Amino acid sequence: MLLGGDNFVMKGGDMVSGRSGAMLSYVVNVSLRRLELVLGDITEQAVDVIVNAANRRLAGGGGVDGAIHRCGGAAIMKETREKYPDGCKTGSAVASNAGNLKAKYVFHAVGPNWYYEPDRFDLLGLAYGSCLKLAVNLGCRSVVFPSISTGSYGYPIAESSVVAIKTVGDFLKSVDGVNSSLEFVRFCLFSESDFAVYRESVDNYCKDN
Ligand code: ADP
């Protein structure tokens, strides 16, 4: 099966370097659409939607949230303050402009804190799923996620990646045959070890489905 990504063409099951030589990528087809992994900084991604791992107050913070606001500029926070003064519930997501980022939207998704939320498993799936529904409703072609909740919110990455990949994979299958603009969903992982964990979850998902 020949699979294609943005910057490369590869065989499924192989991990390859993209043209830059520095960018690791991994791609599988799920029904008619692609599920992709890349290693890198999410603020450099050129896609329709960049997902932010936000907090409930949409107040900005460290980690990926800080990087997105820093690189995207003040227009993002201006819009979220105006449109969502009450913030966003855990397990949900809201859309804003993407400021200076190479995207149409930033979706601010609130994942569960591993230490404080007993329903963390369901809430993590809901956070990913909310973004996917929003993307389809807004007619988006491409979405890139960070690994939600696995930084300061403490969700172990091996467990969270299973939820993330299953939620996205099942969603891609569910929109199969639906007249949706969605072409691919990508995870942008920030370290080689995170990338390897996600890759294993993708392989396991493909084996089971
Ligand atoms: P959370 O509070 O949801 O845990 P964090 O931002 O602390 O969010 O971490 C979520 C994940 O995002 C972590 O795996 C972290 O390594 C990763 N991350 C941090 N900065 C970036 C970035 N610029 N691009 C992609 N991933 C990032």
More confident residue, 18 or 130: 130
Is 109 touching ligand 1 by the criterion CB < 6 Å? Answer: no
Q: Is 136 exposed, middle or buried (0-12, 13-18, 19+ CB in 10 A)?
A: middle
Percent of the chain with pLDDT over 90: 85
- Ligand 1 atom nearest to 153, measured from its CA: 4
Mean pLDDT of 176-186: 86
Q: Which of 23, 189, 190 to mutate to test the pocket of ligand 1 (most atoms within 8 A of CB)?
A: 190
Please indicate, yes or no, if residue 101 is contained in any of the structural domains. Answer: yes
Is 50 touching ligand 1 by the criterion CB < 6 Å? Answer: no
Please indicate, yes or no, if residue 136 is contained in any of the structural domains. Answer: yes
**pLDDT over 60 at 2, yes or no:** no
Query: What confidence category does residue 75 fall into, taking pLDDT thresholds of 50, 70 and 90?
Result: very high
Please indicate, yes or no, if residue 2 is contained in any of the structural domains. Answer: no
**pLDDT over 60 at 13, yes or no:** no
Q: Is 86 exposed, middle or buried (0-12, 13-18, 19+ CB in 10 A)?
A: exposed
How confident is the model at residue 179, as a pLDDT? 72
Nearest to 200 by CA among 165, 148, 169, 167: 165
How confident is the model at residue 3, as a pLDDT? 37
Task: Supply the residue whose CA is at minimum distance from atom 13 of ligand 1.
Answer: 151
Catalytic residue among 41, 65, 119, 176: 65
Please indicate, yes or no, if residue 151 is contained in any of the structural domains. Answer: yes
Please indicate, yes or no, if residue 87 is contained in any of the structural domains. Answer: yes
Residue 125 sits in which domain range?
A: 40-191
Is 63 touching ligand 1 by the criterion CB < 6 Å? Answer: yes
Please indicate, yes or no, if residue 28 is contained in any of the structural domains. Answer: no
Q: What is the CATH number for 67? A: 3.40.220.10
Q: Is position 86 annotated as part of the catalytic site? A: no
Please indicate, yes or no, if residue 200 is contained in any of the structural domains. Answer: no
Read off the pLDDT of residues 126-179 as tens digits, 9 standing for 90 and up: 999 999 999 999 999 999 999 999 999 999 999 999 999 999 999 999 987 777
Please indicate, yes or no, if residue 83 is contained in any of the structural domains. Answer: yes
